[in-house]
């Protein structure tokens, strides 16, 4: 059975092993120090450590939490097992410098729900094996939720994002490594109102289909407060599956996106940066490297936006797949401005350096290369174009 601990501090010492859950609730405050092993296999236990309706609870894990719940009697569930779960906490924090492993479906390593002013820091190792099992899951929190990863987050199931944030406002910082293997498993998925900041200076790798490196979406239901979203990538983003964008800005309003690192996509229909369905003001700037190799995988793709959008390339964009344009602007009905002072090179068949419709404006002071393949010959074209 679960142990209810009522103390300002409780500790699992290094070398000790416990097989029961720990709970803080009903307004308790305190510090949880975990240096040994917490192993949960009983199907009656839904979490390793739980804190509900508490203030100023701070968890420090430098040990091991393992959730590998065996099935009970017929009809008893083994899924939905969370390593650490905070529910309706205020000004509380979780710091993991050890390891957290979950083996079941719907079993995130760390979960925050309906909390205020929460902070999560991962300096250690997080591994989830099951479907819908996130490394860090932050859901319906108010105020600003801060998530920092300088360690390793690995998910292997489908629909298993490395970090998933559905909050009012969030700051997500990654200087470590995030790797997902299953389909529909983004490295970072943020579905927030606005005023969200995502910075990646580490490495994000996704291997499944429909699995973007960073996926930012706006959710007007979560808050009436509007702000500017910021995405900054100075690290490395690599996606391998089909329909897996480096950065996905589908229906993301009011977003400034800056790539000063490297974005590489390998699957079909996997653009480096994808902007779709925005009704507000957005800007995309590439100052380093975007490369795609799949079919119909554009370097930067702006589609069906109705607001004001600006695309600036001062770095290098390369595509090698068929019908993979360097910059593609299609079906936008707002104001679309494209500025290229860098280099765009496309080598695939039927690929265009910059493709535009819908009244977009292009100003080019850089270089645009396109290799045109025709029956019996190939032609390399270098174009310098300025369109007022």
Residues 60 and 156 in one domain: yes
Q: Write the burial class of residue 277 (CB in 10 Å: 0-12 exposed, 13-18 middle, 19+ buried).
A: middle
In a domain, 250, yes or no: yes
The last residue of one of the domains, among 113, 138, 160, is 160
pLDDT at 388: 44
Please state the domain count of the chain: 2
Q: Is 369 exposed, middle or buried (0-12, 13-18, 19+ CB in 10 A)?
A: middle
Domain assignment of residue 123, yes or no: yes
- Per residue in 340-380, pLDDT tens? 999 999 999 999 999 998 778 999 999 999 876 555 444 44
pLDDT at 228: 84
In a domain, 322, yes or no: yes
- The answer to whether residue 105 sits within a structural domain is yes
Domain identity same for 97 and 241: no
Does residue 130 share a domain with residue 39? yes
Q: Is residue 379 part of a domain?
A: yes
Q: What's the confidence (pLDDT) of residue 46?
A: 65
Given 115, 132, 160, the domain boundary residue is 160
Which segments in the chain show pLDDT lower than 50?
A: 1-10, 18-20, 72-78, 223-225, 376-388
Residue 218: per-residue pLDDT? 76
- Which pLDDT value is given to residue 12? 52
- For residues 227 and 90, state if they share a domain: no
| One domain for residues 143 and 248 | no
Q: Which of 160, 183, 215 is the C-terminal boundary of a domain?
A: 160
Do 14 and 117 belong together in one domain?
yes
136 and 240 share one domain: no
Q: Does 263 lie in the same domain as 144?
A: no
> Tens digits of per-residue pLDDT, 75-104?
434 456 788 989 888 998 999 999 999 988
Q: What per-residue confidence (pLDDT) applies to 67?
A: 84
**Within a domain: 374:** yes
Q: What is the pLDDT of residue 22?
A: 55
Give residue 251's pLDDT.
Answer: 82
Domain enclosing residue 314, as ranges:
223-388
Q: Same structural domain for residues 130 and 228?
A: no
Task: For residue 106, give every residue at least 6 positions away whose Cβ sits within 8 Å of its Cβ, in sequence order, or none.
Answer: 79, 80, 81, 130, 131, 132, 133
Q: Give residue 75's pLDDT.
A: 41
298-314: b (≥16 Cβ within 10 Å) or e: bbbbbbbbebbbbbbbb
Residue 247, in any domain of the structure = yes
**Are residue 34 and residue 156 in the same domain, yes or no?**
yes
387's tokens: 């369109």
CA 330-334-335 angle, 5° bins: 95
Cα separations in angstroms, 346 against 242, 246, 265, 318: 19, 18, 14, 6
169 part of a folded domain: no
Q: Are residues 249 and 107 in the same domain?
A: no
């Amino acid at each position: 059975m679960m142990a209810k601990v009522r103390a300002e501090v409780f500790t699992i010492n290094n070398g000790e092993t416990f097989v029961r859950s720990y709970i803080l609730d009903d307004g308790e405050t305190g510090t949880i120090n975990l240096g040994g092993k917490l192993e949960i296999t009983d199907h009656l236990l839904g979490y390793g450590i739980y804190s509900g309706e508490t203030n100023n609870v701070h968890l420090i894990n430098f040990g091991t939490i393992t959730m590998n719940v065996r099935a009970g009697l017929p009809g008893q569930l083994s899924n939905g097992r969370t390593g650490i779960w905070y529910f309706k906490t205020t000004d509380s924090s979780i710091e993991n410098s050890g390891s957290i492993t979950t083996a079941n479906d719907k079993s995130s390593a760390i979960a925050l729900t309906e909390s205020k002013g929460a902070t999560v820091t991962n300096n250690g190792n997080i591994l989830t094996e099951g479907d819908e099992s996130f490394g860090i899951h932050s859901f319906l929190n108010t105020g600003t939720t801060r998530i920092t990863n300088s360690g390793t987050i690995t998910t292997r199931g489908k629909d298993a994002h490395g970090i998933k944030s559905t909050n009012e406002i969030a700051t997500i910082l990654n200087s470590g490594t995030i790797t997902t293997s299953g389909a529909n498993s983004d490295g970072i998925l943020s579905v927030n109102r606005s005023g969200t900041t995502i910075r990646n200076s580490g490495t994000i790798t996704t291997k499944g289909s429909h699995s973007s490196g960073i996926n930012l979406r706006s959710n007007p239901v979560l808050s009436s407060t509007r702000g500017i979203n910021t995405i900054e990538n100075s690290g490395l983003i690599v996606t391998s599956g089909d329909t897996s964008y480096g950065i996905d800005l589908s229906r993301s309003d009011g977003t400034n996106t800056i790539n000063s690192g490297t974005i590489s996509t390998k699957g079909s229909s996997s653009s480096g940066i994808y902007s779709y369905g925005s009704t507000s003001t957005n800007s995309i700037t590439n100052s380093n490297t975007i490369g795609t190799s799949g079919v119909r995988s554009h370097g930067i793709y702006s589609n069906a936006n109705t607001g004001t959008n600006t695309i600036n390339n001062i770095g290098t964009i390369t595509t090698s797949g068929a019908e993979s344009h360097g910059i593609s602007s299609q079906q936008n009905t707002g104001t679309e401005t494209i500025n290229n002072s860098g280099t765009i090179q496309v080598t695939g068949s039927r690929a265009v350096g910059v493709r535009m419709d819908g009244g977009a404006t292009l100003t080019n002071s850089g270089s645009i290369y396109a290799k045109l393949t025709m029956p019996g010959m190939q032609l390399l074209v270098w174009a310098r174009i300025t369109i007022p």
